[in-house]
Amino acid sequence: MDAGLPSTPIPITATAAKTREAAIRLHPSNHTPSEETAPAIVEKDDLTSRWQRRQSFLVCQGLTDQEARTEVARIGTQELWQDLAGQLRTHRAEGRQIDANVLAVVLASMKGVTAPLTRHPGDVVAASNAIISAARRLRRNSGRLDRLHDHCNPAFIQAQRTFDSLTAFLTPWAEESIAA
């Protein structure tokens, strides 16, 4: 036994234990999707029409056009996160570590995209900037991962298509907000 280390483990406080348990529950690998669906790559046109239908529905519910657009962006990124986190959990459970690592990289690229969307409802410039930044991180991390190994996972493609369609959905409104 080392001279400077105590012989008995230091007890963890109740607060520290609760915080640790909460962090473990919130980790993407522990996400349980609400419904089991096979992951499929959605075409950009399908995503665009989905965003427009949601935006129309939210406007009918009383939100302004810009608030509805930022809410659609928040919902879209949240759905992408949940889908990828569910895939990550499945890959880890099945022992497919390379696929799990790819999904972890995609999720890490998305980290922080929903905070600006939630904090600034109706601010399409902030929403567009958050999504563009996440897409930039995704491209950079994708390039780094490609240099490490040649394993391809459709998660990068799906995330990039989602970000591209959300950017296109928000961009015309972002330019009008800057001019106003």
Residues 6+ apart with CB under 8 A from 32: 86, 89
Residues 6+ apart with CB under 8 A from 14: none
Q: What is the pLDDT of residues 52-61, one digit of tens each?
A: 888 888 888 8
The CA distance from 40 to 96, in Å, is: 18
Total domains in the fold of the chain? 1
Whether residue 62 is predicted with pLDDT greater than 60 in this model: the reply is yes
CB-count exposure of residue 160 (10 Å: 0-12, 13-18, 19+):
middle
94 falls within a domain: yes
24 falls within a domain: no
Q: What is the pLDDT of residues 109-136, one digit of tens each?
A: 888 888 888 888 888 888 888 999 888 8
The CA distance from 37 to 47, in Å, is: 17
Global pTM?
Answer: 0.67
The CATH number for 86's domain is 1.20.140
Residue range of the domain that includes 100: 42-179
